[in-house]
Structures are given as structure tokens and as C-alpha cells.
A and B are shown apart, each in its own frame.
Chain A
Amino acid sequence: MADAPANWPALSDQEVVLHARAGSERAYRELVRRYERPIFSLIYRMVRDRELAEDLAQETFVKALNALDSYRPEYKFSSWIFKISNNAAIDHLRRRELDTLSLEGSPHAATPDAVEATALQIGDRGETPLDVVEAKELGGEIEQAIARLRPEYRQCILLRHVEGRAYEEIAEILDLPLGTVKTYIHRARNELRTYLAHLRE
């Protein structure tokens, strides 16, 4: 009875959640299949590290699916799971910010050599050779430009123009006022235009 529906893709998210709550493993898998790519892509574009993005995406799904009882079906499931994934990515970026050194080098460095040794190079994001090849491919330049944005601009522009979410939904996902979301998106577009200007020349 628990795995009953024959045509899972035709069901709405809310209906699939009801089946999952009733103990259907197939419903859980359906939710993962629907959102694994958007969630992984969003997180990957936020943290720029495949392995870490997979860990955070997995953490997102486990957290969301284990807390399905607290999900209220009158809200969009996509907003709910994007909110969880965004929190996971932002928490990680905040932790990393605390752990890593400033661009100018550690404030505790005593000598110029120590300052240089502890300074972080721009573009040093633990990129693999694969990432470098990707950057040369179509779209890679845009991905690199997105990676240069501030995290709050990045999450807004990704949700708006990559995921195609409405302003109101983005405000709900990010817990930000609507005006702030609009401002961030506008500024993000301005910065991206500047970063990508060389492509149009």
C-alpha cells in the first residue's frame, strides 16, 4: 500500500510528501530524484568544491527528509528544501570564513615573509584541473564570475536567474525583505556585467 502510485512523476510535491510520511520508501527516492540536481548545483555554485557540495547536499536531504513531519504542505516544498540547502551552504561559508586567513595575510603574522605565506591568493579555491578545464568551456566564464560575487549576492542571483524563482519566494527562502532581495539581484547583475565585460569586447 505504501508504494502504491504507478505514476510518481505526475504527483505534486505535496502528494509525494504525504506518501513519504505514510512510510513509502519510493516517495523518499522520488523527492531526492526531483531535487538532487538543483540542490547540488546551488550548493556547488556557492562553495565551488564538488566533494564538499555533495556532503552539504546530502546533509540537506537527510535533514529535510528526516523532518518531513515539520513540513507544512500549504508552503512550496521547493522553497522549504532550498531554504535548508541555503542555510547549509551559508553556515559552511561562515565557518570557512572564520577558519581561513584574510586576503592580506594573517593579522598575527610578525614578519613580511609570514604575512606573504599566510596571504590567500585570489582564485585559490582548491580547484582541480577539471575545474580549470571547465572554466574554459562555454559557461565556465560565467561560473567563475558568479564565484567572485559575495555569497549573499550569489545566492540571490542563482535562485532568481538560474533556478527561476520569484522574488517573493527568494525572500522567503533567504529570510530577507523583498527590497533587499531586489537590491542584491540588481547589484549582482551589475557586478557580473563588469566581470564579463571582456567577453563582449
Chain B
Amino acid sequence: MTRLFEQHLTADELDLVLENGVPEAVRAHLTSCPDCTRLVAADRQLVQELSRLALHVPSVGFEDRVMAAVRIPEPLTATAALRRRVFSTRRSLLTAATLVLGLLGSMGASVAWSLAHRTELLAFSHALKDGASRLVWTTVQSLATSLLEQPWYAGVRGMLDTPERLAFALGAAVIGWLGGMLLLRRLIALPDQRVAHESF
């Protein structure tokens, strides 16, 4: 930006100076022009004083008077709130539409692919089923084997070899479980909300 040295500050330049964005040419002019320096100082002081003006406060009860005259809509259900959110801006509508189209497109593509590759899908599902059942059976077998090999297994089996002993052990286990549940409930219960207040 070029400027004649003797030219005083324009309104835009003065604004820039007030916002502390002084161009070099203006800075040079300010060092030698007492009129503009005075103007800048006066405007700076004025702007500072204006920004320091306190906010006026409305009288007590203003908020309640406003609220008494406002029509508040009924609270929305989650679905209605979602619908409103989706339709609130063009961007949200576009995002929702893109998601829905993407979802429908991928579903359609999945159905089309499945219909075109039925045999492969059947073979894959059979293989999956066989593999899963093999895995379950092997797990059960290994668990049973490791249980039978435990040193305490024979003793426990001896304790439960009559129906009476079995019933007693089951009853003791049920009582133990219930007792544990009651204890846990007491432990996780919320503390009493009552708090002592200082009386004045």
C-alpha cells in the first residue's frame, strides 16, 4: 500500500490502528504527524472507555416475567427429538440422507451378492457349522479330562455319592449364594442423602 506522506489517516486505517494492526506506512506517518497521533490517542481512549461501560441489569423477576409469556412446547419423545435434529439444518439432513443411502446400498449389495453366490454361501455355512461343533466338543472333552485329573475330584465325588449328601451340598450352596447376594446389596447401597445443616 502506498500513501502520500502528508496524507492523514483514512477511516479504515484508523480502524486498523485501533485494532493494533498498524501497517508500516501508517506507522511512519504517525511518527511525524501530531494531528493523527492525537486522533489515534483520543480514539483509543474512547474505545477503551466504551468497552469498560458496565452492563445494565433488568429488575428482579425479569426472567420469570419472560418465562410466563413464553410458550414452551411439550417435551419431545426420543424419536421426535431425533427427527427434529435431523431436519434442523441442511448439513444434518445431508449427513442423515448419506448414512441412510449408504446403509440401504450396502444392504442391497449384500442381498444381491448372496443371491448370486448361493452355493458358495451354503458351503461356507456348512464348514462354519462343522468347525464350530468340533470346537465345542473339543472344549467340553478337555474340560472334563482336566476335571477328572484334579487330586480333589475323588474326595468330592465321595462326599456326593448319596442323594441326601447331594441335596445337603446343593442346599448349602444355595444358602451361601443368597447370603453373598444380600451382603453385596448392602455394600453397594447408596449412602443416606440426609445431611446435617447448620441452623442459623
A residues whose Cβ falls under 8 Å from a Cβ of B:
1-2, 18, 20-25, 28-29, 32-33, 36-38, 40-41, 44-45, 50, 53-54, 57-58, 61-62, 65-66, 72-74, 139, 142-143, 157, 161-162, 164, 182-183, 186, 189, 192-193, 196, 200
> Which residues of the other chain, A, contact B59 by a CB distance below 8 angstroms?
50, 54
Count of A-B residue pairs with CB < 8 Å = 114
Cα A1 to Cα B80 with chains together (Å): 13
Return the CB mask of B31-60 against A: 1 if under 8 Å, else 0: 000000000001101110111111111110
Q: Which has the most chain B C-beta neighbours within 10 Å: A25, A38, A161, A200? A: A161
Whether A162 lies near B51 (C-beta < 8 A) is yes
> Which residues of the other chain, B, contact A183 by a CB distance below 8 angstroms?
11
> Which residues of the other chain, A, contact B89 by a CB distance below 8 angstroms?
72-74
Whether B66 lies near A32 (C-beta < 8 A) is yes
Cα A118 to Cα B160 with chains together (Å): 114
Known contacts A25-B72, A157-B50; is-contact A189 B12 (Cβ 8 Å): no
> Which residues of the other chain, A, contact B67 by a CB distance below 8 angstroms?
25, 28-29, 32
B77 and chain A: residue at smallest CB distance: A1
Q: List 28 A-B contacts (CB under 8 A).
A: A1-B75, A2-B76, A18-B88, A20-B72, A21-B73, A22-B84, A24-B75, A25-B67, A32-B63, A32-B66, A36-B58, A40-B57, A41-B55, A50-B59, A54-B58, A62-B70, A72-B89, A74-B90, A139-B54, A142-B53, A161-B51, A162-B51, A164-B51, A182-B15, A189-B46, A193-B42, A193-B43, A200-B42
> Which residues of the other chain, B, contact A164 by a CB distance below 8 angstroms?
51
Answer yes or no: B14 CB below 8 A from chain A CBs.
Answer: yes
> Which residues of the other chain, B, contact A20 by a CB distance below 8 angstroms?
72
> Which residues of the other chain, A, contact B3 by a CB distance below 8 angstroms?
none
Known contacts A32-B63, A66-B70; is-contact A22 B75 (Cβ 8 Å): yes
> Which residues of the other chain, B, contact A193 by a CB distance below 8 angstroms?
42-43, 46
> Which residues of the other chain, B, contact A182 by a CB distance below 8 angstroms?
11-12, 15
Known contacts A29-B63, A36-B62, A193-B46; is-contact A23 B73 (Cβ 8 Å): yes
B84 and chain A: residue at smallest CB distance: A21
> Which residues of the other chain, B, contact A162 by a CB distance below 8 angstroms?
50-51, 53
A43 and chain B: residue at smallest CB distance: B56
Cα A108 to Cα B91 with chains together (Å): 59
Answer yes or no: B85 CB below 8 A from chain A CBs.
Answer: yes
> Which residues of the other chain, A, contact B187 by a CB distance below 8 angstroms?
none
Known contacts A18-B85, A142-B50; is-contact A65 B70 (Cβ 8 Å): yes
Answer yes or no: B122 CB below 8 A from chain A CBs.
Answer: no
Return the CB mask of B66-102 against A: 1 if under 8 Å, else 0: 1101111111101001001100111100000000000
Whether A161 lies near B15 (C-beta < 8 A) is no
> Which residues of the other chain, B, contact A1 by a CB distance below 8 angstroms?
75, 78
Cα A138 to Cα B45 with chains together (Å): 14
B27 to chain A, nearest CB (A): 20
B46 to chain A, nearest CB (A): 6
Cα A40 to Cα B62 with chains together (Å): 10
Cα A192 to Cα B62 with chains together (Å): 32
Whether A40 lies near B58 (C-beta < 8 A) is yes
> Which residues of the other chain, A, contact B58 by a CB distance below 8 angstroms?
36-37, 40, 53-54, 57
> Which residues of the other chain, B, contact A50 by a CB distance below 8 angstroms?
59
> Which residues of the other chain, B, contact A139 by a CB distance below 8 angstroms?
49, 52-54
